[in-house]
Structure 1
Amino acid sequence: MGEAKRRKNALKEQYGQEERILPWIPISKRQADDFYQWTTRGAWFGIGIMATLWITVRFIGPAFGWWDTQ
Structure 2
Amino acid sequence: MDILLRLTNSWFYSSGKRPSDHEVMIDELLRISQLVTDFPEIVELDINPLMVFEEGHGAMAIDMRLVLAP
Instruction: Please give the TM-score of this superposition, normalised by the length of structure 1.
Output: 0.33
Instruction: Please give the TM-score of this superposition, normalised by the length of structure 2.
Output: 0.33
- Structure in which a larger fraction of residues adopt helix: 1
- Structure in which a larger fraction of residues adopt strand: 2
Which of the two has higher C-alpha Rg?
1
